[in-house]
Amino acid sequence: MDKKTQTSPQTSHPAAADTLIADYQRVVEELQEVRQDQKQGQIDLEAAIERANALAAKAEIANIELNQIINTSVDGMFLVYQDFTVKRINDSLLSFLNLKEADALGRKCSELMASPWCGTPECPLTIILHKLPRIEMDIRRQKQDGTTVPFMFTATPFRGIDGELIGMVARLKDITERKYAENMLREANQRLEHLATIDGLTQVANRRFFDQTLEKEWNRLKRTGEPLSLILCDVDFFKLYNDTYGHQAGDDCLRAVAKAMDSSAKRGGDCVARYGGEEFVAILPATDAKGADRVAENIRLSIEQLGIEHKSSKVAPCVTLSLGVTTMIPSDAGSPLKLVHCADKALYEAKSSGRNRSIHWSDT
């Protein structure tokens, strides 16, 4: 009985030992797996750090290149965030503002370039934030020396990596040369337009301008019910003047007559024009018959008083005019052509009755 009790533990010892060995081996394997995982984790971490460093280097290079691109632009450029603070500004704009970068970054855009639209719904950034894809306008800004410079202002949205709108990029292009060219072109067009309405010899209005003005005044006065008067005149015996003194002297004579007529028709709405050859015409808006006769007589006397010698004239020793005058109240029953026709009749009557006089023709 005692022997059995002593030998029983000896028979169970080998099994317990096997279990311990197995547990140990399992722990060793787990440790090896942990070490392997740690090693792989370290490798992955180092690779991730390397990639991050590479991306950071690329980002830094891209930032440097972006700065170079922005700063080599002759146009002023700046980046403004939603809170209206300037986050980036290039050298060209800094030079125009006479500021250093440190003095510009972080400040409100309104502090750098105050505009009438600042704080209003017309503010470009406010408009951009309301999803307008692009803004373009001509503006003027004053330099420190007081010089005003015209710019083309362009603003476009600026978005972050996630695509969210965070501000705007604005560009200011100096368009001084363009504006100069536009002004020169406008002035040239105005000169051409002026030349198209002026008689080259006498420098009063030409026939084309007379026709346009007469039509315009007829329609205007038809609405107001006011009278319209017309004076048609002719230099007496002008062909004989040319034959006697030559065409150069004839041109000088016509220039002197035109100048004297233009001085006699003094009101702003009056129009003196060369009708053709040695004929001239004066449009007198809102002028009644008495007023027109008075102007016609002033014109006749002013030409006579010039004292231009005309020894071939059959009415006077100097250059004179014959004038036909007519007055109408514009209406649908009449026409500008009828007004001219009546003035022509009056002129014919003045010439037929001795010249150097004015005749008023009434169609009523």
Cα–Cα distance for residue pair 80/97, rounded to 1 Å? 16
Is residue 244 within 8 Å of residue 237, measured between CB atoms?
no
Is residue 142 within 8 Å of residue 148, measured between CB atoms?
yes
Which of 340, 329, 331, 333 is CA-nearest to residue 211?
Answer: 340
Helix, strand or coil, per DSSP, at residue 229:
strand
Q: Which two tokens stand for residue 252?
A: 């000088």
AA identity, residue 351: K
Task: Tell the residue number behind the tokens 């346009």, with chain if given.
Answer: 212
Task: Tell the residue number behind the tokens 């004297």, with chain if given.
Answer: 260
**Radius of gyration (C-alpha) of the chain in whole angstroms:** 48
Work out whether the CA dihedral 250, 252, 256, 262 comes out positive or negative: positive
Cα–Cα distance for residue pair 323/261, rounded to 1 Å? 12
Helices H / strands E in the chain, number of each: 11, 10
CA distances from 344 to 2, 202, 261, 331, 338 (A): 167, 21, 18, 20, 10
Catalytic residue among 182, 278, 279, 349: 278
Residue 215: CB atoms within 10 A of its CB come to 13
First to last CA, the chain: 169
Cα–Cα distance for residue pair 7/234, rounded to 1 Å? 162
Active site residue 278: yes
Residue 73: CB atoms within 10 A of its CB come to 15
Is residue 280 within 8 Å of residue 233, measured between CB atoms?
yes
Is residue 325 within 8 Å of residue 342, measured between CB atoms?
no
Q: Looking at the annotation, which residues are catalytic?
A: 278
